[in-house]
Amino acid sequence: MTSLSYTPPAAGDRPAPFAIPTGLLIGDAWVDSATAARIDIINPSTGETLTAVADGGVAEGIAAVDAASAAAAGWAATPPRKRADILLACFYAMMAEQEWLAQLISLENGKALTDARGEVAYAAEFFRWYAEEAVRINGEMGIAPGGANRILVQYQPIGIALLITPWNFPAAMATRKIAPALAAGCTCILKPAEETPLTALAVAEIMRRAGVPAGVINVLNASDPGPMCSAILNDPRVRKLSFTGSTEVGRILLREAANTVVSASMELGGNAPFLVFDDADLDAAIEGAMVAKMRNAGEACTAANRFYVQREIHDRFVEKLVARMGAMTVGAGCDAATQCGAMINQASIDKIERLVADAVAKGADVRLGGKTLEREGFFYPPSVIANVQPGSDILEDEVFGPVAAIIPFDDPEDAIRLANATEYGLAAYVYSEDLKKALQIAERIECGMVAVNRGLVSDAAAPFGGMKQSGLGREGSHHGLIEYCEIKYIAVSW
């Protein structure tokens, strides 16, 4: 089953080996919903409808729990090595399909093909990482302090997991949850975002073909996810919720999870500060800023949202960033030349316009872009707004687009205070050639992840997650596996 030799296909030379499913995956079959309702999927680069997928409801939600429940005991009892082999097969199968999968992501999400290729590789990596973790779920044994008994600690699969994912990384947000769930021995129900379900449906079919047994992964789409997810979470067989999305929906789901005391892992919004000190390598900081701001056209919860730049280098930083961002090619996701793709929808454009207008009304200067492009699809250009004033909404709210808001600072203490002046605490970026200072600052920033002299934090091998209202729990690394485990303590006398 596991192919150990792997040669990537030349770009574009391999079509999808199957028609992309558009149904609901429940147990061993792709099915339609009872109502036969469908959700249109829009290409954000053109505004055209690509296709439509089945629209599930409460009945399909419970059917998926039935399927996950029927498969649960068998999957939990599958030897870890076999689970690992299946996950590794998923990794190779996904990488073999990298090119058309990337095109599919670009089509339904609008992101540039280079971003989409990177996403497929990152997404597949979760299968490989958790294949390696599946055989290393080790417990502990100790002796009670009183000497009377042994303390045996074992990790067991937590149970059926509901996995809810957003549209910005349709492949990676799915595999970041599915892979650890399966490695731990859990069966799952994936509920992708209604804007970008095709990638998740394709990944699920790749997994089936790679040997994932029926019912271990189920996939549901819904135009009105609330009632369906609520029914699933209120089913006592479901023991885990892992959600990536907005803080607002995260709060609703945490309340739902409370009914049955379901374990919840939450990856919510961010408002990442990007701090550049006067002793930074300016060119390296610009490179990092381009990644932290422009990867995925800014549609990432880790995206740099606020650039605090020390006064001595502020003007040069702005000038260089304007030059680099201004040179980017904006275009349809699938065009080979595109470096900055489309936004997901009109609501996203509206939000960016509102945040930029508010900043400008409060005194900011538009140094680049700052105006929606007049063309088909949903396009906002790379934009730089400098001199952003305190109290501007863009400093409070994720822009989730290609807009860099820049604020000068004089005193490093002010920069740290401003970086922490938010309810969010996901990611932060620090640029300084003085590593001692940078690490001291990294420790003081209230967020789950800090990149020092780097523009990227995401890695399957690292614990991804936020503090404060950015979330609960971690994904990726060994920590991400433990989220799908229950700790069982057995007191033994012998």
The residues that are catalytic are 267, 301
Question: What DSSP designation does 457 have?
Answer: -
As measured in angstroms, the least distance from the Cβ of 256 to ligand ADP is 7
String marking each residue 230-259 x if it binds ligand ADP according to CB under 6 A: ---------------xx--x--xx------
Count of residues engaged in binding ligand ADP, rule: CB under 6 A: 15
Q: Does 225 bind ligand ADP (CB under 6 A)?
A: yes
Parallel, antiparallel, or unpaired for β 304-310 and 403-409?
parallel
As measured in angstroms, the least distance from the Cβ of 249 to ligand ADP is 3
Which of 226, 236, 363, 390 binds ligand ADP (CB under 6 A)? It is 226
DSSP for 343-381, please give it.
-S-HHHHHHHHHHHHHHHHTT-EEEE--S---SSS----
Q: Does 472 bind ligand ADP (CB under 6 A)?
A: no
Q: Does 191 bind ligand ADP (CB under 6 A)?
A: yes
Q: Does 372 bind ligand ADP (CB under 6 A)?
A: no
Question: What DSSP designation does 296 have?
Answer: G
String marking each residue 116-155 x if it binds ligand ADP according to CB under 6 A: ----------------------------------------
Distance CA 302, CA 455 (A): 10
As measured in angstroms, the least distance from the Cβ of 258 to ligand ADP is 14
As measured in angstroms, the least distance from the Cβ of 226 to ligand ADP is 3
Question: What DSSP designation does 382 have?
Answer: -
Contacts of residue 371, defined as CB under 8 A and 6 or more positions apart, other chains included, come to 381
Q: Does 352 bind ligand ADP (CB under 6 A)?
A: no
Return the SS3 of 374: coil
Of 165 and 432, the one with the shorter C-beta distance to ligand ADP is: 165
Contacts of residue 10, defined as CB under 8 A and 6 or more positions apart, other chains included, come to none
Of 158 and 249, the one with the shorter C-beta distance to ligand ADP is: 249
Of 58 and 252, the one with the shorter C-beta distance to ligand ADP is: 252
Q: Does 229 bind ligand ADP (CB under 6 A)?
A: yes
Residues 192-221 that bind ligand ADP (CB under 6 A): 193-194
Of 246 and 420, the one with the shorter C-beta distance to ligand ADP is: 246
Contact 221, 64 (CB under 8 A): no
Q: Does 53 bind ligand ADP (CB under 6 A)?
A: no
Per-residue b/e over 301-317, b at no fewer than 16 CB within 10 Å?
A: bbbbbbbbbbeebbeeb
Return the SS3 of 372: coil
String marking each residue 164-183 x if it binds ligand ADP according to CB under 6 A: xxxx----------------
As measured in angstroms, the least distance from the Cβ of 164 to ligand ADP is 5
Q: Closest residue to ligand ADP, Cβ-based?
A: 245
366's tokens = 């538009």
Distance CA 177, CA 165 (A): 9
**What residues are paired with 492 via a beta bridge?**
150
Phi, psi at 423, each rounded to 5°: -75, -15
Of 94 and 164, the one with the shorter C-beta distance to ligand ADP is: 164
CA atoms within 13 A on the CB side of 197: 29
Distance CA 344, CA 299 (A): 9
> What is the chain's length?
494
As measured in angstroms, the least distance from the Cβ of 165 to ligand ADP is 6
Residue ranges binding ligand ADP (CB under 6 A): 164-167, 191, 193-194, 225-226, 229, 245-246, 249, 252-253
